């Protein structure tokens, strides 16, 4: 255990499963004080509870729940904006309510939470905010436009605002996971209209996503990247892990855009 960091408190949203659970576990192992959130902490399965994590309620769809968070926990030094949902559907078929709902959960909720913790971090002259984005925001994929837009949005907030907060020792950063084996694909929401002309390609992408998700890396590896980002003196704007991230980002830098677009499409069984 690394006792250097025990004085620091980490808040991990969505700590009841997947990447959030693994991240909470990684920070406990390194000696941090860890607070994890769930919509219903009492309902977290025994096998998903991590010893040493204090669980508190948070529903990012409910503004009052977000505003109440500071009264439930003391000073937060490190915020991991991890909680989120996956969504899939052709743009043409996306109900406005679905778009608004996903933006509330994946963007507006985490953004408000960040605004609530920033003043304390700024005054104490130390803070880290990690947005859990998605590699899909760097390598967009058909039928994921709404999800991609939410992940691009939180990356945009953190990439710009880091220049405001870093003079105070407060660093915002984004970690983009690729395909991670967390079971998120079983919880993904889908929107497709009856008789949609996009149905065939949409179904193809869905099954490719499921296949890739099950073959993905374990969430522990994302947690390790998050710890590296948090413990950097000057965290980089962007970290990526999974789905051969180093190769993909190198290809994106060195080859024509269309080649990478083709690779992403073919990787999901679409011929484009």
* Closest separation in Å from C-beta 134 to ligand NAP: 4
For residue 125, the minimal CB distance to ligand NAP (Å) is: 28
Q: Between residues 57 and 169, which has the closer beta carbon with respect to ligand NAP?
A: 57
Nearer to ligand NAP, 158 or 179 (CB): 179
Nearer to ligand NAP, 127 or 219 (CB): 219
**Minimum CB distance to ligand NAP, residue 239 (Å):** 12
In the complex, which residues of this chain contact ligand NAP (CB under 6 A)?
A: 13-14, 16-20, 38-39, 58-61, 82-86, 105, 132, 134, 177, 179-180, 182-184, 187, 213, 216, 219
Which residues are CB-neighbours of 23 under 8 A, at least 6 positions away? Answer: 12, 15, 80, 82, 219, 222, 223, 226, 227
| 196 CB-near residues (< 8 Å, 6+ apart) | 90, 92, 93, 202
Q: 222 and 24 in contact (C-beta within 8 Å)?
A: no
Element spanning 98, H or E:
helix 96-103
Q: Residues with catalytic annotation?
A: 147
């Amino acid at each position: 255990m690394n006792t250097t960091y025990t004085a620091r408190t980490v808040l991990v949203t969505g700590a009841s499963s997947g990447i959030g659970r693994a991240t909470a576990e990684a920070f406990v192992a390194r000696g941090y004080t860890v607070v994890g959130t769930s919509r219903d902490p009492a309902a977290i399965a025994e096998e998903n509870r991590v010893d040493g994590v204090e669980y508190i309620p948070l529903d990012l769809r409910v503004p009052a729940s977000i505003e109440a968070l500071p009264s439930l926990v003391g000073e937060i030094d490190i915020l991991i904006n991890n909680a989120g949902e996956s969504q899939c559907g052709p743009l043409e078929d996306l109900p406005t309510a679905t778009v608004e709902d996903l933006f509330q959960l994946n963007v507006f909720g985490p953004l408000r939470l960040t605004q609530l913790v920033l003043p304390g971090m700024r005054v104490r002259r130390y803070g880290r905010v990690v947005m859990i984005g998605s590699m899909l925001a760097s390598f967009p994929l058909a039928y994921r436009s709404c999800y991609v837009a939410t992940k691009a949005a939180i990356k945009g907030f953190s990439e710009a605002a880091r220049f405001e907060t870093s003079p105070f020792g407060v660093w915002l950063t984004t970690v983009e996971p690729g395909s991670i084996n967390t079971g998120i694909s079983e919880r993904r929401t889908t929107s497709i209209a009856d008789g949609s002309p996009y149905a065939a390609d949409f179904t193809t992408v869905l099954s490719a996503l499921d296949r890739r998700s099950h073959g993905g890396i374990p969430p522990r590896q994302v947690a390790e990247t998050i710890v590296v980002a948090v413990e950097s003196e000057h965290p980089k704007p962007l970290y990526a892990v999974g789905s051969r991230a180093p190769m993909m980002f190198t290809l994106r830098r060195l080859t024509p855009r269309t080649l990478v677009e083709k690779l992403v499409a073919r990787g999901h069984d679409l011929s484009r």
